[in-house]
């Protein structure tokens, strides 16, 4: 900038870019004013050069025991996972693996979500009385101290389901071997369960953990923004996939290379439960599965771009329909389970879930 005989020069310095009368600190802006035959210098604060910082704080949790009744004796300390993406899990002071919250879909890729704010509490092993041995795992109880543990609530993922590391995951995933050794030492998982899972289920868990329920009569939650229309029923002998026509996606899109991918115009979550159909239109099909909408866990919304007036929104208490009307009529999502040999496993699960039904 020129004003009369004075010229203002502005330098951002590292350690010092000009020796006028003194060195200028690296985080100051040096102003050089040329006046007549000489010059004067002034400095003012400046924003320091950017320093790369981690996006999320690294957290760790040290497990002394997973049995709540032993927390006091083992001096189990509270864990704070707030905002952590992949906190380290230590077992009795030894680092073993990392804890992951859940994934979200971003630009057709899975991205790991950080743990929510105020995620403070204790890891513990949960098993529901009267449920199969596989129906258990490590959960996180939200509370501010041991005195609040019994009144605390389990950590949930965005869909409304309980966050956990299931028994099948603990046994099947190689990174969970230290945790498996620990829970076996605490008599939380029996040797017979370990043998069955390794023999019958290991191949299903080699790459990722499928979303599972343990009986056809178990309620389950569907995140309608990412689900593709199948449920996995896990027993000690096998994993059975129940697949329907598409529930919550309306069409395929095409990527640059011509590969197809799903488009999910819905957002929200619903709690569903399988049941045997009693509808007249299904009698000729034989035993047929349908799904009852038990609850809207998160409000269902539809992207206006894909809502052409034929989209069907799930309603509590009603049977689940396909997401689009056909020729102006709603169609109930259903699956005949006796006509194809591939559905023999589903038929066996139905007999276990509803032993008094004529199947």
Element of type H or E holding 290: strand 288-302
The two structure tokens encoding residue 306:
């894909």
Can you give the pLDDT at residue 118?
Answer: 94
Confidence of residue 208 (pLDDT cuts 50, 70, 90): low
Query: Taking 90 as the threshold, does the pLDDT of residue 156 lie above it?
Result: yes
The model's pLDDT over 97-118, given as tens digits with 9 standing for 90+, comes to: 899 998 776 655 678 899 999 9
Distance CA 89, CA 312 (A): 44
Cα separation, 143 vs 85, in Å, equals 20
Model pLDDT, residue 106: 64
Per-residue pLDDT, averaged over 268-276, amounts to: 91
Rounded distance between C-alpha atoms, residue 92 and residue 28, angstroms: 48
162 vs 32, residue with greater confidence? 162
Query: In the prediction, which pLDDT does 76 show?
Result: 96
What does the pLDDT average to over 279-291? 90
11 has a pLDDT exceeding 60: no
pLDDT band at 159 (very low <50, low <70, confident <90, very high): confident
* 108-135 average pLDDT score: 87
On whether the CB atoms of residues 248 and 222 are closer than 8 A, the answer is yes
d(CA 215, CA 335): 16
Confidence category of residue 342, pLDDT binned at 50, 70, 90: low
Count of residues in the chain: 359
Closest listed residue to residue 142, CA positions, set 152, 134, 131: 152
Paired tokens of 35: 């006046």
DSSP β-bridge partners for residue 121: 79, 142
| End-to-end Cα spacing for the chain | 90
Residue 67 has pLDDT above 90, yes or no: yes
Split at pLDDT 50, 70, 90, the class of 183 is: very high
C-alpha–C-alpha distance, residues 223 and 300, integer Å: 10
User: Which residues sit opposite 321 in a β-bridge?
Assistant: 332
Give the mean pLDDT of 206-224.
77
- CB neighbours of 158 closer than 8 A, spacing ≥ 6? 102, 104, 113, 223, 269, 298
Contact 270, 221 (CB under 8 A): yes
146: pLDDT confidence band, cut at 50, 70 and 90?
Answer: very high
What pLDDT does residue 247 have?
Answer: 56
Could you tell me the two tokens for 230?
């199948």
Q: What is the pLDDT of residues 17-43, one digit of tens each?
A: 334 334 444 444 444 444 455 544 454
């Amino acid at each position: 900038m020129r004003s009369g005989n004075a010229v203002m020069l502005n330098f951002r310095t590292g350690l010092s870019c000009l020796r006028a009368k003194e060195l200028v600190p690296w985080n100051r802006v040096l102003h050089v004013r040329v006046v007549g035959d000489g010059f004067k210098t002034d400095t003012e604060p400046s924003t320091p050069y950017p320093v790369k910082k981690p996006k999320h704080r690294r957290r760790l949790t040290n497990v002394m025991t997973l049995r709540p009744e032993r927390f006091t004796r083992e001096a189990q300390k509270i864990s704070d996972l707030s905002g952590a993406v992949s906190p380290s899990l230590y077992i009795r002071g030894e680092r073993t693996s990392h804890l992951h919250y859940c994934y979200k879909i971003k630009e057709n890729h899975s991205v790991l979500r950080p743990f929510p704010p105020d995620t403070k509490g204790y890891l513990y092993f949960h098993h529901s009385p009267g449920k199969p041995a596989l129906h258990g795992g490590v959960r996180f109880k939200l509370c501010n101290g041991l005195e609040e543990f019994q009144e605390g609530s389990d950590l949930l993922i965005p869909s409304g389901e309980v966050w956990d590391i299931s028994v099948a995951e603990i046994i099947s995933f190689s990174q969970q071997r230290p945790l498996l050794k620990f829970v076996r030492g605490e008599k939380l998982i029996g040797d017979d369960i370990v043998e069955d899972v390794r023999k019958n289920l290991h191949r299903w868990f080699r790459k990722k953990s499928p979303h599972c329920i343990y009986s056809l009569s178990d309620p389950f939650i569907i995140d309608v923004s990412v689900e593709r229309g199948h449920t996995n029923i896990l027993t000690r002998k096998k994993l059975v996939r129940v697949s329907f026509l598409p529930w919550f996606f309306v069409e395929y899109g095409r990527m640059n290379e011509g590969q197809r991918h799903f488009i999910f115009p819905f957002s929200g979550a619903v709690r569903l439960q399988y049941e045997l159909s009693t509808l007249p239109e299904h009698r000729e099909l034989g035993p047929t599965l349908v799904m009852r909408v038990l609850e809207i866990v998160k409000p269902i919304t539809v992207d206006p771009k894909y809502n052409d007036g034929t989209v069907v929104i799930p309603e509590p208490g009603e049977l689940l329909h396909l997401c689009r009307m056909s020729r102006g009529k709603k169609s109930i999502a259903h699956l005949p389970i006796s006509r194809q040999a591939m559905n023999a496993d589903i038929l066996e699960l139905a007999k276990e879930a509803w032993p008094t039904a004529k199947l």
